[in-house]
Amino acid sequence: MPYISFLIFIPIVTALVALLIPARYTRVFPWLTVGVNILQVFIFILMVIHFKVDGSLQLIEKHSWITLSLSSWGQLQAEYLVAVDGLSFPLVGLSVVIMLIATLSSWHVSKSRKGYFALLLILNGAIIGSFCALDFLLFYVFFEFMLLPMFFLIGIWGGPKREYASIKFFLYTLLGSIFILIVMIGLYLSVQSPENSTEVVHTFNVLYMQNLENFIPGSVLDATTTGSWRLWAFVLLFIGFAIKLPAVPFHTWLPDAHVEAPTAISVVLAALLLKIGGYGILRFVYPVFPDGAVYFSDWVAGMGVVSIIYGALNALASKDLKRLIAYSSVSHMGFVLLGIASATTEGIAGAVYQMVSHGIISAMLFLIAGVLYDRTHDRIIENYSGLASQMKHYTAFVLIAFFASLGLPGFSGFIGEVLIFFGAFQSQSLNNLVQMWMPIVATLGLLLGAAYYLWTIQRMFFGPFAVRANFAELNDLTTREYAMLLPLAIMALLFGILPQILLDYINPFAESFTSMWFSLGINANP
Amino acid sequence: MSDAITILLITLLIPMVSAGIAFSVKEKYGWLIPIVSSLLLLIAAIAVLFPLFGNVQLTEQFSQPWLSIGNTSVSIGILATPITRLMAAVVLFVSAMVHIFSIGYMANEKNTDRYFGFLGLFTFAMLGLVYSTNLLITFCFWELVGFCSYRLIAHTQQKTAASQAATKAFLLTKAGDVAFLIGLLILWTQNSTLELAFITSTSGVWNTVAGLCIFIGVVGKSAQFPLFNWLPDAMQGPTPVSALIHAATMVAAGIFMLVQLVPVFTPSTLWVMTAVGIVSALMGAAGAWLVTDIKKILAYSTISQLGFMILALGLGETTGAFTHLLHHAFFKAGLFLAAGSIIHAMHQATHQTEVDVQDIRQLGGLRKQMPVTFIGFAICAAALAGIPLTSGYLSKELILTAVHQKNMWWLTLSVWIIVFATPLYIFRLLWFAFLKPATHVLTVNEAPWIMRLPVILLALGSITFLFQQGHLSSFATQILQTEIAVPTRIVIISLAVTAASLLTAWLSRNLSSRAPEFLIQYFLDSINLYLVRLTTFAGSLTTTFDKKWIDRSIHTLAYGKVMLAHVAGWADRNMVDGTVHGVTWVARGLGGVTRSVANGKIQSYLLWAMAGLLIFIIWMLY
């Protein structure tokens, strides 16, 4: 069964079907979308059953897609190659769950529902496609396909400054895309398929790109060529994905996009789109250019540490609740970068774990901001006080989300962070990629994280009740909101208390990732 | 899993289940939870302790992998040694007492479901910390303890002061926790394990650094200098919670951790510990003598007592420190619960008016009005002061012996000052609250039996009525079979110092001029405030940087693009279009010429034809 293809194309086909339904049947669209989401959850459960945890690629689907003979140039070959492994499988699972919750959270969208849900479905397919594609061209198509719905979803259904935010988002990511495109072309020119020895077959297969032997001698990105452009390619590709992550200083699109985006889109943006950045670095940048990764390891780790501290400081100064959460995302994704930079088994596994955990927790955080915004249309922190006395259950979820996000043991965030620290601390003695002072400085981010969340709780939820905003009623959570928040809270707890259930999937990937580095002789003592 | 471990696991689950039920049942049935839980907790305390009678060498460990990746593996498990059993029993017992007391104390309060829920969770977290076999798991429970105390301090969450105190407590202890985590990670890089059983004593710079970092964590959690200023503020929480925090859970966690880790610390770390212990003990005593709030006096007293224990730990006297921790758990819980009774009774007597019932200058004459509470309080106070026949005396002597063996004058001197200062402040509290003639004319009623009972039980636990090798001994020394061989010289000096202290206290009993605020606390608070301001300032700087530099360069880039587009547009209009226009203009001009030529007159056509022919002929000829 082509599970992955089902997962990718069911939403896209449904989106096309939805376009044929007259827009006046407004009730149909959310139900259609939620049906697709539930179907995807079932497909994912089937995938879990069929997934063998042995470190190899699973559920591979391989078909020829574009084959062009270019006479003396050899052959161009792009394949439809999708598969999952320990890196992408947890992220696919996360996508499936988050998209379901995003649909639930957009239940009451009023403006042109047909377009909204069709775009959401396209986004759904494109995200899962990006996580599963192992052919660079195929990945790039899905990657670009993601931008378009996102641009419109922010630009049409967003807040007052939505045009600015959506254009900023688009420009940033487009810049990243261009960098990725340049490197992709370079790789295409340099890599040949080992399947065919009689003729040069240029391929986009990422697995082939990860083996230095497949590079055509003398080509642009061949390691043996003198004056190779490999380091430049690393930088370009890394920046391309760092924009998505986002890492400081490529992050300023994020707060604006988040503040203006509707709740559901914020959830998808924070929980899934940012993960494409981390995923891209782990799937493309590091395995394809390990030499660049070693050369720039200080920079990558430094960027991670700066993101952690800088994001946290910005969150501390934020007056808008959503802006605070957006900057906290910058801070938490900095940990991912730090873990990757260490290139140790613990660090890599920690980075993947942190991505999944941040997906769960940030979704919760944005839903929480959305709950309040739905009631009062105001997100300024200082306009609230003592909400705990009026909204008991809401406050309970806020506490869970905030403390999960600040890394309280028992929640998934702690496991991710602590694994990253394990990796980063031993890196100096193991492979000398990350100096020990860097993670020590990064721990300051934990303290700052506690500070901005606790101050927010103190200002908004404790103290005497007062709201300086217009609102009709300040009800506690509705059933729909419960249905969105409770599964996320349970997941955050589950992955925090029993980390091994997720690590069993991630470990083989992390181990093969690091063993690849060992095989390249990088971990030898410098 | 052996039976003994199963029993310990059940004792761990009791408070957890209690918390779960408290969170989920309707508030109407909330009163059932503390009754059932406290009974179960009491039974659990006995069950934990039972195997120890007659068999102190009992050590068992059960563990199971929890997280494993690469060459890191962390196991979760239960460590059953006499030390963990005794600590767990005390935690369970004190928690049971606090549960019982809370039935009366919280009778008229709201949100008791949340209160008892977090009380259960708090106990669970502390037990988990005690039983833990791995330092990372210890850290997890350590953080959880901090979270529960945060939530309980902010129990009356509408009160701004309470929520501020809770935030402060969490942030200051978190600062310590971050250092603790760094320490653990460094220890891990050195030993490549965090299993308590496998961490071996090592020397070296990194181990000292690791030890110091872990100790900073303890400084935060156990409220030592310079991270102690959250503890007096934390008195905003309900009084039974303070009893739990000060006796068995939060602050005790730090000392308990050190008891287990001191054997692997390097000598330099131990010296730092001694120094910090002395400073905290002296300062806590001074603070307790100066402030007027009944709960804050007890809070400073805790800082002082914990400093005393850390000093002992720094000297390597783990037995003395640990027994003192256990004794302290009893008498400090007793003191706090008795103080809670007073506050409760005074609140009822003043009918909730705006009288500061916690100011000891407003109290007095309670000896007659609350006789049972008085007796309980007095016994616990005596234990704190280290008067013979009490448990506090025994452990104090143990620590004093260790101090004298070191034979260092500054150490000895400062410890005697601490011994002198302790009875001074606690007698003062006793005098103002109970003995002094009343300044008010209120009729104060004795607390209900449900609140008296825990106080009396805790006071009983603070008396030495057991015999062991011809000595009086407390429950802790009895079970641990501690050898109490104190030189007579020390006994005499100690008795003399205590007597002198009590005499001084009696003579200065009416001295009531007190500083409005403890200066060192004020000083540290302002340092904290500056740090907060600095951080906020840094935050505003980064925000400006985002707006001014990053966004502006993005905008410049965007404007650059737009400008480029304009240039291209201008070029399009003036150059490309201009060329096209120019071409059309030329074409039109030419067209005009040709049009004027093609004017339809036969004669002119003939003329042009003739001219053409002429030119052709001339060209052909030459």
For B120-162, write each residue's pLDDT tens digit. 999 999 999 999 999 999 999 999 999 999 999 998 888 888 9
Look at residue B57 in the predicted model and tell me its pLDDT. Answer: 61
- What is the phi/psi pair of residue A307, to 5°? -60, -40
Look at residue A525 in the predicted model and tell me its pLDDT. Answer: 39
- What Cα–Cα distance (Å) separates residue B572 from each residue in B557, B562, B567, B582, B586? 22, 15, 8, 13, 19
Look at residue B355 in the predicted model and tell me its pLDDT. Answer: 67
Distance from CA of A232 to the nearest CA of B (A): 22
pLDDT band at B513 (very low <50, low <70, confident <90, very high): low
Look at residue A420 in the predicted model and tell me its pLDDT. Answer: 95
pLDDT band at B522 (very low <50, low <70, confident <90, very high): confident
The yes-or-no verdict on residue B225 having pLDDT over 70 is yes
pLDDT band at A526 (very low <50, low <70, confident <90, very high): very low
Percent of chain A's residues with pLDDT above 70: 98
Q: Which residue has the higher pLDDT, B593 or B261?
A: B261
Please list every residue in chain A whose beta carbon sits closer than 8 Å to the beta carbon of residue B220: none
Task: Choose the closest CB to B539 out of A316, A422, A426.
Answer: A316
pLDDT band at B505 (very low <50, low <70, confident <90, very high): confident
Q: Which residues pair with A215 in a beta bridge?
A: A191
Q: Work out the average pLDDT over A224-237.
A: 84
User: Which of A10-14, B284-288, B535-539, B558-562 is predicted least confidently?
Assistant: B558-562
- What is the phi/psi pair of residue B109, to 5°? -95, 160
The yes-or-no verdict on residue A177 having pLDDT over 80 is yes
Look at residue A269 in the predicted model and tell me its pLDDT. Answer: 93
pLDDT in tens, B3-15: 788 888 898 999 9
Look at residue B467 in the predicted model and tell me its pLDDT. Answer: 64
Q: Which residue has the higher pLDDT, A304 or B461?
A: A304
For an interface test with A, the pick among B16, B64, B69 (most A C-beta atoms closer than 10 Å) comes out as B69
Cβ distance A316 to B140 less than 8 Å, yes or no, reads no
Cβ distance B67 to A421 less than 8 Å, yes or no, reads no
Q: Work out the average pLDDT over A300-313.
A: 94
The yes-or-no verdict on residue B93 having pLDDT over 80 is yes
pLDDT in tens, B467-483: 666 667 777 777 777 77
Look at residue B49 in the predicted model and tell me its pLDDT. Answer: 83
pLDDT band at B354 (very low <50, low <70, confident <90, very high): low
Burial of B595 (0-12, 13-18, 19+ CB in 10 A): exposed
Q: For residue B353, give both structure tokens.
A: 């008016």
The yes-or-no verdict on residue A26 having pLDDT over 60 is yes
Tokens 């995923």 belong to which residue?
Answer: A279
Percent of chain B's residues with pLDDT above 90: 29
Residues 61 through 80 of chain B touching chain A, CB cutoff 8 Å? 65-72
Phi-psi region of B467 (alpha: psi -120 to 50; beta: other; left: phi over 0): beta
The number of CA neighbours under 13 Å toward the Cβ of A480 is 13
For residue B77, the surrounding DSSP H or E stretch is strand B72-80
Cα angle A257-A150-A177, degrees, rounded to a multiple of 5: 90
Cβ-based neighbours of B469, under 8 Å, separated by 6 or more: B483
Residues 527 through 586 of chain B touching chain A, CB cutoff 8 Å? 535-536, 538-543, 546, 550-551, 554, 557-558
Q: Work out the average pLDDT over A297-303.
A: 93
Cβ distance B535 to A313 less than 8 Å, yes or no, reads yes
Q: Is B107 helix (H, G, I), strand (E, B) or coil?
A: coil
Q: Work out the average pLDDT over A367-395.
A: 90
Residues 275 through 314 of chain B touching chain A, CB cutoff 8 Å? none
Cα angle A45-A47-A51, degrees, rounded to a multiple of 5: 125
Distance from CA of B12 to the nearest CA of A (A): 16
Cβ distance B157 to A462 less than 8 Å, yes or no, reads yes
Q: Which residue has the higher pLDDT, B588 or B480?
A: B588
User: Which of A33-47, A359-373, B61-75 is predicted least confidently?
Assistant: B61-75
- Written as one string, the DSSP assignment of A94-138 is HHHHHHHHHHHHTTT--S-HHHHHHHHHHHHHHHHHHHHB-BHHH
Considering only alpha carbons, which residue of chain A is nearest residue B72?
Answer: A346
pLDDT band at A523 (very low <50, low <70, confident <90, very high): very low
Q: pTM for the whole thing? A: 0.91
Look at residue B258 in the predicted model and tell me its pLDDT. Answer: 92
Q: Work out the average pLDDT over B493-520.
A: 80
Distance from CA of B507 to the nearest CA of A (A): 44
B617 C-beta neighbours (distance < 10 Å), count: 9
User: Which of A324-333, B71-80, B278-287, B354-363 is predicted least confidently?
Assistant: B354-363
Q: Work out the average pLDDT over A385-413.
A: 92
- What Cα–Cα distance (Å) separates residue B52 from each residue in B84, B88, B295, B314? 11, 12, 35, 28
Q: Work out the average pLDDT over A140-162.
A: 90
Cβ distance A317 to B164 less than 8 Å, yes or no, reads no
A99 C-beta neighbours (distance < 10 Å), count: 29
Q: % helix / strand / coil in chain A, to the nearest 5?
A: 70, 5, 20
ipTM over 0.95: no
Look at residue B292 in the predicted model and tell me its pLDDT. Answer: 84
For residue B441, the surrounding DSSP H or E stretch is none
The yes-or-no verdict on residue B71 having pLDDT over 70 is yes
Look at residue A521 in the predicted model and tell me its pLDDT. Answer: 54
Task: Choose the closest CB to A450 out of B68, B136, B174.
Answer: B174
pLDDT band at B217 (very low <50, low <70, confident <90, very high): very high
Look at residue B233 in the predicted model and tell me its pLDDT. Answer: 87
Cβ-based neighbours of B388, under 8 Å, separated by 6 or more: B495
Cis peptide before A287 (omega within 30 of 0): no
Task: Choose the closest CB to B551 out of A252, A346, A462.
Answer: A252
Please list every residue in chain A whose beta carbon sits closer than 8 Å to the beta carbon of residue B188: 422, 425-426
Cβ distance B546 to A345 less than 8 Å, yes or no, reads no
Distance from CA of A310 to the nearest CA of B (A): 7
Query: What CA–CA distance (Å, rounded) separates B566 from B601?
Result: 51
The answer to whether the beta carbons of residues A271 and A357 sit under 8 Å apart is no
Please list every residue in chain A whose beta carbon sits closer than 8 Å to the beta carbon of residue B543: 314, 317-318
Look at residue B515 in the predicted model and tell me its pLDDT. Answer: 60
The yes-or-no verdict on residue B503 having pLDDT over 50 is yes
The yes-or-no verdict on residue A92 having pLDDT over 50 is yes
Considering only alpha carbons, which residue of chain A is nearest residue B68?
Answer: A500
Q: Is B519 helix (H, G, I), strand (E, B) or coil?
A: helix
Cβ distance B171 to A451 less than 8 Å, yes or no, reads yes
Q: Tell me the residue type at B115.
A: Y
Query: What CA–CA distance (Å, rounded) separates A312 from A406?
Result: 11
Residues 322 through 381 of chain B touching chain A, CB cutoff 8 Å? none
Q: Tell me the residue type at A320.
A: D
- Written as one string, the DSSP assignment of B266-289 is -HHHHHHHHHHHHHHHHHHHHHHH
Please list every residue in chain B whose beta carbon sits closer than 8 Å to the beta carbon of residue A403: 147
pLDDT in tens, B8-63: 889 899 999 988 888 888 777 777 888 888 899 888 888 888 877 766 567 888 88
The ranges assigned to domains in chain A are 296-526
User: Which of A2-6, A235-239, B255-259, B567-571 is predicted least confidently?
Assistant: B567-571
Please list every residue in chain B whose beta carbon sits closer than 8 Å to the beta carbon of residue A386: 157-158
- Most confident segment among A216-230, A323-337, B483-497, B583-597: A323-337
For an interface test with B, the pick among A444, A447, A486 (most B C-beta atoms closer than 10 Å) comes out as A447
Q: Mean pLDDT in chain A?
A: 90
pLDDT band at B540 (very low <50, low <70, confident <90, very high): confident
Distance from CA of B272 to the nearest CA of A (A): 21
Q: Is B467 helix (H, G, I), strand (E, B) or coil?
A: strand
Q: Work out the average pLDDT over B495-509.
A: 87
